[in-house]
Chains A and B, each alone.
Chain A
């Protein structure tokens, strides 16, 4: 089956955040009174992704030569082709499904947190109590395909796409959306947006959430040329093939890996100053 994808067009988005509300509602991440938030001097909230917030819109204010801009970015799982989380997941709970999305099996997730630590975008979230002990399971955007809530299998588009009033989000075959995205970027460049860029076309082997941008990825708080941390490659391609026969070694590797992961997290925080 052809890979599916979402195309987010930042030049159409008005940051109404219908997507953010629909995501929470459809995926039943809305028990009780929701996340307790306070206004921290921003239109943005909650402050960060969490096990209950799989998608949030980010707002960035910039001013160049007296021209103010207000840029809106979608923040959620990118569903990478070369997905660090899939590589580092110790027991295969995270995997690519047949549509190219990064899916996961919550029943087998041990809550180790490697996926969070190695993700270049720091998307997967766990309900952690401290840095050294973990609790609960990993959660992130599942492309509206959770068992029982699977919109895709039912022939529907994801909830965020369905709700988007200005058509900033589109769902479809990835190759068609790549072509559409490239076309829009070309148009933007002819309109004078020299830095216009299709993010996710090539990044990490191709993302399944792509961004039409009228400025550089950094201006929108996206990492230029994201990479899988070397430690993840080491884990997946060198340590993991040793297999369960070398359980002792693996345990050592896990510990080592974890330390590397913490380092990696500190060094690849998202660039770009977010709105305070």
Chain B
């Protein structure tokens, strides 16, 4: 989240899209209800009327996979309204704090000119042509002046300025077009536009709450790009009650991302090392952004300090200047190679991966194309599953339809402790690191994760020292000393880091160095555990000076306890808050008051020489409307999902031009599978179900998987509420209970009726409650930028069982 949970209560308008907080983030409603009682509006955009919709002021139905058309239509409405009613918008924010005024390379062309594509595309429209489905971004560049600073037209009139390019791009998304793509009734769509656009006024703030309904698409990252464009034009970034807020699905999923759960990053969002990075110097040169603009703070220019301090934390005395601080101990990935979830399971299916450790995850239920992924597990020589229960993954060899005798995999199940049985920290969606304590002892031989990891690594060190192995020093040289038993405090201190010359804990990342005299395991957490103590354990409810719910002494938020990031954009050029009722920071008596400011320099008009641009994490210092870093286009463009019920009415290009396809032969066509399907969760169960399908209170409340469908579809198929139905895709079929409801309606798309069903996926074949997982139907295709699987829009057919 740019903001945090409490801050939702400050919002004038909450747009819940790609999310269903009442269902999946119930605690969010404490704050949503508060916002509503203070006069805020709640908009729910969802293919079906949900528990969230039941509380919403406006419900807008939208066909799965058409978010970009919806949001681009909203951007079109806003740009049109900005030109007609400029007083209703914050034009200073747009011209000074975003790249709207930047001039783009005149050679750049967009989908309006190139029938759905941006300039530089190599692949044509052939979806099967995987190799060439990518862009040469040579024209996606900003014009620079002789000093290397972006050229700007602050009148926003130049045809090559980002504002004009964006305007031309979204002008094609008229309300009629949006309605015919998304199936949202035009009047409802316009009501959403009017209501949310009202937060564009200076002093008003709207927030977007999103979750997996946004990300799990072939164009998931572009969906979020669309939100950031809308929120930047409405001057909602940095504001209390504003921002773009990803509600994370698990108590510590933010933390796990921060510590580099994903393959493309190292802790603290440092870019992963690739095979071409043959030296530390080369690596740092590649990943450290540069700017020529003296007004840009370009915080990432500090990257070398964070990398070297991380290496010092990992390798201690073995990390010295003459061995590049142990840089070459680290494994490197092949440039351009994909190591995401689907890619790993494809490699496993092909027999290339021999061993797997699954830690607190139930891939046999949660992975896409589950039948395929379960079968891939058969190829393993060994599997380690760390969990609270037997899961579908640990017991994959017992799944229905297989002969266990034919599966040779050796399986180890390590019983783990649940959160209440161990001590440590979790980081919530709002970036708060919160310390938790052990409440009760765990059962039997269950141990905490740190205990297990410590024992495993110590044994590995011993074995590598004795037996050697490829790149053995990566393990043998590790500085690994957390006590016996390993202490979470020792780990937390290492993450914070030390001044190695004094032995004292670092007070913050501003003092980290690239000469080997400091350490920090994850630079964004530097300042979380200092000589003043464990900041995450703080429980002081003293409010912030403006009483906007920051509670700066409660726990600790990365970075540097900043509760709302990009907060320098919440003030005008003189440092006065745009919203004086909900100030985040305020320049008073030559200093900033309130939240920890995003860069402590004076406001732009107060001291134009010492000031810095507000978006300090971008080398250009402003918010990006034009996102040249994206794989599939600098502006979001609507394409149909890989499996589409109708052809794309925006252009000849049917699907995202750069998303990942693994099994083209498994694509379902609309003649055989005419119904759109989306998978989702319910309040009563959680993820792969291992924690909830074994609890009687939850199982009796939600005993079986179900398929939600409209009365119209049920009528056409002769299905009665409560009947058992077969839902089938090109990958497989599942049996579920039909939940026939008024809350789903067919969509009018391109003049014809398109049905959608919703499928719950938490189930499997192990535990107190069993049933089919909807993921037996989902495809092996992934987002162009993140490779996240497409769980939310694919095609099925339905019949009575």
A binding-site residues for B, Cβ under 8 Å:
11-12, 14-18, 20-21, 24-25, 30, 32-43, 45-46, 61-63, 68-72, 165-167, 276
Residue from A25, A68, A70 within 8 A of B697 (CB atoms):
A25
Q: Are A165 and B697 in contact (CB under 8 A)?
A: no
The complex places the Cα of A72 from the Cα of B26 at a distance, in Å, of 15
Residue from B23, B683, B702, B768 within 8 A of A33 (CB atoms):
B768
Do A45 and B702 contact each other (CB < 8 Å), given the known contacts A24-B697, A25-B697?
yes
B711, chain A: closest CB distance, angstroms: 10
Q: Is B52 an interface residue (CB 8 A)?
A: yes
Q: Is B742 an interface residue (CB 8 A)?
A: yes
Q: Are A14 and B54 in contact (CB under 8 A)?
A: yes
In the complex formed, the residue of A with least CB distance to B27 is A165
The complex places the Cα of A166 from the Cα of B21 at a distance, in Å, of 11
Main secondary structure of the interface of B (DSSP, over half): mixed
Q: Is B706 an interface residue (CB 8 A)?
A: yes
Residue from A35, A41, A68 within 8 A of B721 (CB atoms):
A41
Residue from B683, B697, B701, B721 within 8 A of A276 (CB atoms):
B721
Q: Are B700 and A36 in contact (CB under 8 A)?
A: yes
Closest 8 CB pairs of A and B: A34-B696, A41-B722, A41-B721, A166-B29, A14-B22, A34-B700, A21-B697, A16-B26
Residue from A14, A20, A42, A62 within 8 A of B29 (CB atoms):
A14
In the complex formed, the residue of A with least CB distance to B736 is A39
Name 9 A/B residue pairs within 8 A (Cβ), A-sorted.
A14-B54, A14-B55, A21-B701, A33-B696, A34-B700, A39-B706, A166-B29, A167-B30, A276-B721
Q: Are A70 and B743 in contact (CB under 8 A)?
A: yes
Q: Are A39 and B739 in contact (CB under 8 A)?
A: yes
Q: Is B699 an interface residue (CB 8 A)?
A: yes
Do A41 and B737 contact each other (CB < 8 Å), given the known contacts A16-B683, A70-B49, A70-B743?
yes
In the complex formed, the residue of B with least CB distance to A35 is B700
Do A32 and B696 contact each other (CB < 8 Å), given the known contacts A14-B26, A70-B743?
yes
Q: Are B54 and A70 in contact (CB under 8 A)?
A: yes
The complex places the Cα of A20 from the Cα of B684 at a distance, in Å, of 11
The complex places the Cα of A41 from the Cα of B742 at a distance, in Å, of 12
Q: Is B211 an interface residue (CB 8 A)?
A: no
Q: Are B738 and A14 in contact (CB under 8 A)?
A: no
Q: Are B696 and A68 in contact (CB under 8 A)?
A: no
In the complex formed, the residue of B with least CB distance to A56 is B701
Residues of A within 8 A of B737 (CB): 38-39, 41
Q: Are A20 and B743 in contact (CB under 8 A)?
A: no
Q: Is B704 an interface residue (CB 8 A)?
A: yes
| Those of B349-400 within 8 Å (CB) of chain A | none
The complex places the Cα of A41 from the Cα of B703 at a distance, in Å, of 11
Residue from A21, A69, A165, A276 within 8 A of B54 (CB atoms):
A69
The complex places the Cα of A44 from the Cα of B143 at a distance, in Å, of 59
In the complex formed, the residue of A with least CB distance to B59 is A68
Q: Is B51 an interface residue (CB 8 A)?
A: yes
Q: Is B33 an interface residue (CB 8 A)?
A: yes
In the complex formed, the residue of A with least CB distance to B51 is A14
Q: Is B561 an interface residue (CB 8 A)?
A: no
Size of the B side of the interface (Cβ < 8 Å), in residues, is 40
Q: Is B698 an interface residue (CB 8 A)?
A: yes
The complex places the Cα of A18 from the Cα of B51 at a distance, in Å, of 14
Q: Is B417 an interface residue (CB 8 A)?
A: no
Q: Are A17 and B722 in contact (CB under 8 A)?
A: no
Q: Are A45 and B739 in contact (CB under 8 A)?
A: no
The complex places the Cα of A25 from the Cα of B52 at a distance, in Å, of 26
Chain B 702-713 interface 0/1 with A at a Cβ cutoff of 8 Å (1 = within): 111010000000
Q: Are A41 and B51 in contact (CB under 8 A)?
A: no
Q: Are B33 and A166 in contact (CB under 8 A)?
A: yes
The complex places the Cα of A177 from the Cα of B366 at a distance, in Å, of 45
Q: Are A68 and B743 in contact (CB under 8 A)?
A: yes
Q: Are B30 and A166 in contact (CB under 8 A)?
A: yes
Residue from A17, A42, A68 within 8 A of B739 (CB atoms):
A42
Q: Are A15 and B701 in contact (CB under 8 A)?
A: no
In the complex formed, the residue of A with least CB distance to B57 is A191
Q: Are A18 and B49 in contact (CB under 8 A)?
A: no
The complex places the Cα of A37 from the Cα of B722 at a distance, in Å, of 13
B454, chain A: closest CB distance, angstroms: 34
Q: Is B239 an interface residue (CB 8 A)?
A: no
Q: Are A63 and B742 in contact (CB under 8 A)?
A: yes
B628, chain A: closest CB distance, angstroms: 41
The complex places the Cα of A61 from the Cα of B744 at a distance, in Å, of 11
In the complex formed, the residue of A with least CB distance to B21 is A14
Q: Is B651 an interface residue (CB 8 A)?
A: no
Residues of A within 8 A of B720 (CB): 41
Residues of A within 8 A of B773 (CB): none
Residue of B23, B29, B30, B723 with most partner-chain A CB within 10 A: B29
Q: List 14 other contacts, CB 8 Å, given A14-B26, A39-B702, A45-B703.
A: A12-B29, A12-B33, A14-B51, A14-B52, A15-B683, A25-B697, A34-B696, A38-B737, A39-B704, A45-B700, A70-B53, A165-B27, A165-B29, A165-B30
The complex places the Cα of A18 from the Cα of B701 at a distance, in Å, of 11
Q: Are B49 and A68 in contact (CB under 8 A)?
A: yes
The complex places the Cα of A169 from the Cα of B684 at a distance, in Å, of 19
Residue from B54, B721, B741 within 8 A of A72 (CB atoms):
B54
The complex places the Cα of A35 from the Cα of B22 at a distance, in Å, of 25
Residues of B within 8 A of A12 (CB): 29, 33, 55
Do A165 and B26 contact each other (CB < 8 Å), given the known contacts A16-B683, A41-B721, A41-B722?
yes
Q: Is B740 an interface residue (CB 8 A)?
A: yes
A8, chain B: closest CB distance, angstroms: 14
Do A37 and B700 contact each other (CB < 8 Å), given the known contacts A68-B743, A167-B33?
yes
Residues of A within 8 A of B698 (CB): 21
Residues of A within 8 A of B701 (CB): 17, 20-21, 37, 45-46
Q: Are B703 and A17 in contact (CB under 8 A)?
A: no
Do A30 and B703 contact each other (CB < 8 Å), given the known contacts A14-B26, A41-B739, A68-B49?
no
| Those of B45-100 within 8 Å (CB) of chain A | 49, 51-55, 59
Q: Are A61 and B743 in contact (CB under 8 A)?
A: yes
Residues of B within 8 A of A20 (CB): 697, 701
In the complex formed, the residue of B with least CB distance to A62 is B742
Residues of A within 8 A of B33 (CB): 12, 166-167
Q: Are A41 and B683 in contact (CB under 8 A)?
A: no
Residue from A30, A61, A63, A70 within 8 A of B696 (CB atoms):
A30
Q: Are A38 and B703 in contact (CB under 8 A)?
A: yes
In the complex formed, the residue of B with least CB distance to A34 is B696
Residues of A within 8 A of B29 (CB): 12, 14, 165-166
| Those of B739-766 within 8 Å (CB) of chain A | 739-743
Residues of B within 8 A of A15 (CB): 22, 51, 54, 683
Residues of A within 8 A of B742 (CB): 61-63, 68
Q: Are B684 and A17 in contact (CB under 8 A)?
A: yes
Chain B 688-732 interface 0/1 with A at a Cβ cutoff of 8 Å (1 = within): 000000001111111110100000000000001111000000000
Residues of B within 8 A of A68 (CB): 49, 59, 742-743
In the complex formed, the residue of B with least CB distance to A14 is B22
The complex places the Cα of A43 from the Cα of B22 at a distance, in Å, of 14
The complex places the Cα of A120 from the Cα of B741 at a distance, in Å, of 30
The complex places the Cα of A39 from the Cα of B53 at a distance, in Å, of 22
The complex places the Cα of A118 from the Cα of B703 at a distance, in Å, of 32
The complex places the Cα of A40 from the Cα of B697 at a distance, in Å, of 17
Residues of A within 8 A of B699 (CB): 33-34
The complex places the Cα of A174 from the Cα of B521 at a distance, in Å, of 54
Q: Are A61 and B51 in contact (CB under 8 A)?
A: no
Residue of B54, B737, B742 with most partner-chain A CB within 10 A: B54
A49, chain B: closest CB distance, angstroms: 13
The complex places the Cα of A166 from the Cα of B54 at a distance, in Å, of 13
In the complex formed, the residue of B with least CB distance to A166 is B29
The complex places the Cα of A17 from the Cα of B51 at a distance, in Å, of 12
B769, chain A: closest CB distance, angstroms: 9
Residues of A within 8 A of B30 (CB): 165-167
The complex places the Cα of A42 from the Cα of B29 at a distance, in Å, of 23
Q: Are B738 and A41 in contact (CB under 8 A)?
A: yes
Residues of A within 8 A of B53 (CB): 70
Q: Are B22 and A16 in contact (CB under 8 A)?
A: yes
